């Protein structure tokens, strides 16, 4: 009996995100990189001009996302200019400027300084969300490209969990897409907290650390998990079911997202 053909699967059709999904978590296991998902979801959301995005750039800067947007055939800077996107950058300490230090080495902050920085950053996020809600009639998506980077910004674990809770309190028209690396104990704690309350969890496992080939498991609310293999490409992502790359047309039957 011939093996049935397995068609290549479109990434966005497979994810099929819905506005009622309050929280979508992207888990990066085994040195995987979930930024290709962030980039594609960002493009997908911005296709609806009534929706808005507050992009919290903790891992990559605006220049990176602008470059990716051009590969995906849209212009992120133009979306920012039209007020559909708000970029929220990491908090920075002005300690070195205040004390006249010219050293490029990061200066360790006192506990009270860390707390003040975190509070100011969270206030900035709240303000951006409220302003975006006033401008856009549709849903607002808060996208955090790597929650772990908050820890590197001297925000303690409980501060990261507070941020998640704060975003949940925006009950109307505000959804969260958060990417988290599970390579540390704190990262695992953040991922565990998010997974408990997520409507969708996408878990990525790199088949080879640092490579762009891996496994993607999609767990939607009240649905059995679905598993796919993926391969990142310059202008998109090739996605297929396990074993398809070696059994369908000699591995040539991929769909490239552009």
Instruction: Determine, yes or no, domain membership for 100.
Output: no
The burial of 122, by beta-carbon neighbours within 10 Å (0-12 exposed, 13-18 middle, 19 or more buried), is given as middle
Instruction: Determine, yes or no, domain membership for 241.
Output: no
List the one residue out of 98, 37, 101, 96 whose CA is nearest residue 232: 37
Q: What is the rounded distance in angstroms from the CA atom of residue 132 to the CA atom of residue 158?
A: 27
Instruction: Determine, yes or no, domain membership for 250.
Output: no
Q: Indicate which CATH number applies to the domain containing 133.
A: 3.40.50.300
**Inter-residue contact 85 to 79 (CB < 8 Å):** yes
Q: At 228, phi and psi to the nearest 5?
A: -140, 160
Q: What is the DSSP string of 192-212?
A: HHHHHH-SEEEEEEESSTT-S
Confidence bin at 240 (pLDDT 50/70/90): confident
Instruction: Determine, yes or no, domain membership for 256.
Output: no
Residue 3's pLDDT is 34
The residue that leads in pLDDT, 143 or 97, is 143
**Inter-residue contact 236 to 244 (CB < 8 Å):** no
Average pLDDT for 90-99 = 50
Helix then strand count (H, E) for the chain reads 10, 9
Percentages helix, strand, coil for the chain, rounded to the nearest 5?
Answer: 40, 20, 40
214: DSSP letter: E
Instruction: Determine, yes or no, domain membership for 209.
Output: yes
Residue 1's pLDDT is 40
Q: What sign has the CA pseudo-torsion 147, 148, 150, 151? A: positive
State pTM to two decimals.
0.82
Tens digit of each residue's pLDDT (9 = 90 or more) over 195-219: 999 999 999 998 766 556 889 999 9
Instruction: Determine, yes or no, domain membership for 78.
Output: yes
Q: At 139, phi and psi to the nearest 5?
A: -70, 150
SS3 111: helix
SS3 78: helix
Report the side by side order of strands in the sheet with 236-240.
85-88, 52-56, 140-144, 174-181, 23-29, 200-206, 213-220, 226-233, 236-240
Sorted by sequence, the CB contacts under 8 Å of residue 210 that are 6+ apart come out as 31
Instruction: Determine, yes or no, domain membership for 33.
Output: yes
Q: What sign has the CA pseudo-torsion 118, 121, 126, 129? A: negative
Q: 196 lies in which domain range? A: 21-90+110-215
In this predicted structure, the answer to whether residue 85 has a pLDDT above a threshold of 90 is yes
Q: Into how many domains does the chain fold?
A: 1
Residue 84's pLDDT is 96
Sorted by sequence, the CB contacts under 8 Å of residue 163 that are 6+ apart come out as 122, 125, 150, 155
Instruction: Determine, yes or no, domain membership for 4.
Output: no
Q: What is the rounded distance in angstroms from the CA atom of residue 152 to the CA atom of residue 170?
A: 26
């Amino acid at each position: 009996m011939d093996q049935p053909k397995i068609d290549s699967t479109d990434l966005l059709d497979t994810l099929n995100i819905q506005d009622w999904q309050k929280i979508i978590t992207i888990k990066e296991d085994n040195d995987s990189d979930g930024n290709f998902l962030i980039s594609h979801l960002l493009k997908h959301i911005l296709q609806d001009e009534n929706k808005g995005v507050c992009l919290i750039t903790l891992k990559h800067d605006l220049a990176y996302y602008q470059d990716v947007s051009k590969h995906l055939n849209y212009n992120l800077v133009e979306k920012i200019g039209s007020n559909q996107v708000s970029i929220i950058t990491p908090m920075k300490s002005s300690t070195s400027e205040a004390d006249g230090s010219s050293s490029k080495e990061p200066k360790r902050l006192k506990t009270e300084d860390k707390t003040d920085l975190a509070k100011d950053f969270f206030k900035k996020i709240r303000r951006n969300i409220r302003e975006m809600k006033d401008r856009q009639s549709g849903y607002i998506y808060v996208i955090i490209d790597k929650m772990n980077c908050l820890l590197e910004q001297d925000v303690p674990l409980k501060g990261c969990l507070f941020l998640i809770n704060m975003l949940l309190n925006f009950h109307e028209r505000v959804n969260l897409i958060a990417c988290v690396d599970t390579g540390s104990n704190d990262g695992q704690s953040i991922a565990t907290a998010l997974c408990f309350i997520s409507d969708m969890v996408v878990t990525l496992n790199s088949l080879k650390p640092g490579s762009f080939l891996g496994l993607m498991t999609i767990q939607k609310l009240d649905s059995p998990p679905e598993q796919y293999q993926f391969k990142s490409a310059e202008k998109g992502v090739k996605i297929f079911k396990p074993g398809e790359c070696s059994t369908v047309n000699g591995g040539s039957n991929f769909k490239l997202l552009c």
